[in-house]
Amino acid sequence: MAVTAPTIRIPDNTEVIVILDFGSQYAQLIARRVREAGAFSVLVAPSAPIETLAQFRPKGIILSGGPASVNEVGAPRCDERLFEMGVPVLGICYGMQLGCQMLGADVRSAGKREFGRANLNILPVEERGLLVDLPASTTVWMSHGDQVEALPQEFEAIATTPTCPIAAVRHLKHKFYGIQFHPEVTHTPHGIDILRNFIFEICQCKGTWRMSEFLESECRRIREEVGAKRVICGLSGGVDSSVLAAMLIRAIGEQLTCVFVDNGLLRKAERQLVESTFRDHFQADLRVVDASEEFLVDLRGVLDPQEKRRRIGHRFIEVFKQTAAEIGDFEFLAQGTLYPDVIESGHSHAGTAANIKLHHNVGGLPEQLGFKLIEPLRDLFKDEVRKLGAVLGLPDQIIWRHPFPGPGLAVRIVGEVTKARLDLLRDCDEILLEEIVANNLYRSTSQVFAVLLPIQSVGVMGDGRTYESVVAIRAVETQDFMTADWARIPFNVLATISSRIINEIRGVNRVVYDISSKPPATIEWE
Ligand code: XMP
């Protein structure tokens, strides 16, 4: 969805950097780096006229990268009058090529596409501005097919790489700077310094923006949008929906009703944690619906994981719909959609980001339910959501929670889901997490859980033979959950987990540790 007018009311003293999103996978990462530096950032469709951009009162403008070629017919462009605004502009990759072309430079296909690390040499020019205080030679991350071939007189090249002679430029009259590489990715070690130079040296920002300001301006926006109407929100107890609910309570208080569906597939004490946090601490209007019987009946005899997911998703929507109809007249539905969910389904602000994967979140309710959607977290990354949670006063236990899949323990019980198998798995899982927390491993791991396997193995206990269940332990480390490595949990901790589970849980006589990475395995077993 393209933003053609400001969706956020910018308070008078907020320093804003506007980012024109030409469809780069990294556009939001630029936005986040800017906010980390202490200036607020907004992503805007590249076609926005300068009158729209001016409404943000930007201290600077960044032109993002993008998949197109500036010489292609129909390639996205920006308002021709951009450089007349008198606001500093930084072009990154496609943004550099576009800015340079608009100001008279020659941009051509590089002959060979260039991906990966390159060595940037900063030229001994008089005014280093953007590259001030950087070492004379540094590594940068390149990803481009076109490059600037020739510059008119008003330009000066300020850095070069062995394959890209014009790797960074500045315009001598307009406040335009261009870099062919990506400063926003961690593979460019001094990338943050370059962005900070742009924000502080060139745009003269002071770095006063904080997450608390985002919270306040979003709350104001929600209040305006909602008016006196009522909002319903599905609360799962995960980080995203919890932060969302806490934010809405701050914004509209009693106009919000939270619905927590107990599907009987939860971990131990999960429901109690949500109840105590939201009812006791936040005084939320929280409705807990115990639908565990219905879910269990739906799952009877089902072995196929996709069929389990389908039935659980279907039932969840039914229960939610019915509950909403019973408790009142709601105009809005609030959802905890984050930016990665948006970009992964190919809906960047420019509408051109490549589609990476389809999201499979059972908590995502279909639009046909007839509510208007409120998604105040859709511009944020997970770590920003956590920061917001801290500003809102959510307990660490919720802010730092490992993700838990919508279909819950049903996809951690290989084979049929029954009440007895759920209870057994819940007990094993509780011991596992107790040990992970006690050994200070919760924050260094991304997801840790137990899986109940559909096999029995022979054991010996006391003097007798046993023939009981096998439980697998899965612990992974990952940044984005798209790839993951198995966590190197110390052997002594694994030993304690194994002996506690086998000794304390009746019906389990063997514990195994999963040492598969993703890919080729997935994080969940089903
Ligand atoms: P996989 O198993 O695909 O998991 O490597 C990646 C991340 O997604 C979670 N996951 C799900 N979350 N509904 C969800 O809401 C699902 O159907 C689902 N399947 C996997 C998984 O726990 C991990 O965090």
Cβ of 200 closer than 6 Å to ligand 1, yes or no, is no
Q: Which of 182, 190, 203, 384 is catalytic?
A: 182
For residue 148, give Cα distances in angstroms to 67, 71, 239, 353: 16, 12, 44, 23
Give yes or no for a contact between 455 and 470, defined as CB atoms under 8 angstroms apart: yes
pLDDT for residue 344:
53
Cβ of 360 closer than 6 Å to ligand 1, yes or no, is yes
Q: What pTM was computed for the model? A: 0.78
Phi first, then psi, for residue 494 (nearest 5°) are -60, -40
Among protein residues, the one with the nearest Cα to ligand 1's atom 4 is 523
User: What is the 487 CA–ligand 1 centroid distance (Å)?
Assistant: 17
CA distance 494 to 334: 41
Confidence of residue 472 (pLDDT cuts 50, 70, 90): very high
Q: Which of 15, 100, 144, 184 is catalytic?
A: 184
Identify whether 349 is a catalytic site residue.
no
Mean pLDDT of 50-76: 95
Identify whether 359 is a catalytic site residue.
no
Cβ of 156 closer than 6 Å to ligand 1, yes or no, is no
Structure-token match 């899986």, residue found? 451
Identify whether 184 is a catalytic site residue.
yes
CA distance 79 to 457: 69
User: What is the 521 CA–ligand 1 centroid distance (Å)?
Assistant: 12
Q: Which of 93, 100, 164, 258 is catalytic?
A: 93
Mean pLDDT of 161-185: 95
Among protein residues, the one with the nearest Cα to ligand 1's atom 9 is 405
- Distant-in-sequence, close-in-space partners of 241: CB < 8 Å, separation ≥ 6: 233, 234, 235, 336, 363
Q: Does residue 431 have a pLDDT over 60? A: yes
Among protein residues, the one with the nearest Cα to ligand 1's atom 8 is 405
User: What is the 362 CA–ligand 1 centroid distance (Å)?
Assistant: 10
Tell me which of 361 and 109 has the higher pLDDT.
Answer: 109
CA distance 123 to 138: 12
Residue 148's SS3 state is strand
Residue 211, amino acid: M
Confidence of residue 209 (pLDDT cuts 50, 70, 90): confident
User: What is the 61 CA–ligand 1 centroid distance (Å)?
Assistant: 37
| Beta bridge pairs of residue 470 | 510
Mean pLDDT of 73-88: 96
DSSP state of 371: P
Q: Does residue 100 have a pLDDT over 90? A: yes
Q: Does residue 347 have a pLDDT over 60? A: no
Cβ of 265 closer than 6 Å to ligand 1, yes or no, is no
Cβ of 400 closer than 6 Å to ligand 1, yes or no, is no
Phi first, then psi, for residue 421 (nearest 5°) are -70, -35
Confidence of residue 1 (pLDDT cuts 50, 70, 90): very low
Mean pLDDT of 380-387: 88
DSSP state of 367: G
Among protein residues, the one with the nearest Cα to ligand 1's atom 21 is 405
Cβ of 524 closer than 6 Å to ligand 1, yes or no, is yes
CA-angle at 383, arms to 380 and 389, nearest 5°: 85
Cβ of 234 closer than 6 Å to ligand 1, yes or no, is no
Cβ of 313 closer than 6 Å to ligand 1, yes or no, is no
pLDDT in tens, 235-267: 999 999 999 999 999 999 999 999 999 999 999
What does the chain come to in residues?
Answer: 526
Tell me which of 170 and 357 has the higher pLDDT.
Answer: 170
Cβ of 447 closer than 6 Å to ligand 1, yes or no, is yes
Among protein residues, the one with the nearest Cα to ligand 1's atom 22 is 405
For residue 94, give Cα distances in angstroms to 26, 55, 168, 302: 12, 25, 12, 50
Ligand 1 nearest-atom number relative to CA 363: 15
Cβ of 66 closer than 6 Å to ligand 1, yes or no, is no
**Mutational pocket test of ligand 1: of 312, 451, 481, the residue with most ligand atoms within 8 Å of the beta carbon:** 481
- DSSP letter string, 465-495: EEEEEEEEEEEEE-SSSSSBEE----HHHHH
The pair of three-digit structure tokens given for residue 299, joined into one six-digit string = 């799952």
pLDDT in tens, 388-417: 999 999 999 999 999 999 999 999 999 999
Please tell me the least confidently modeled range out of 131-135, 472-476, 486-490: 131-135
Mean pLDDT of 472-498: 94
Q: How, if at all, do strands 485-486 and 464-477 pair?
A: antiparallel
User: What is the 410 CA–ligand 1 centroid distance (Å)?
Assistant: 12
Q: How, if at all, do strands 137-150 and 16-20 pair?
A: unpaired
CA distance 295 to 109: 57
User: What is the 49 CA–ligand 1 centroid distance (Å)?
Assistant: 41
Q: How, if at all, do strands 231-234 and 464-477 pair?
A: unpaired
Ligand 1 nearest-atom number relative to CA 522: 5
| Beta bridge pairs of residue 290 | 262
Give yes or no for a contact between 266 and 238, defined as CB atoms under 8 angstroms apart: no
**Mutational pocket test of ligand 1: of 236, 308, 360, the residue with most ligand atoms within 8 Å of the beta carbon:** 360
Cβ of 518 closer than 6 Å to ligand 1, yes or no, is yes
Cβ of 410 closer than 6 Å to ligand 1, yes or no, is no
CA distance 105 to 488: 53
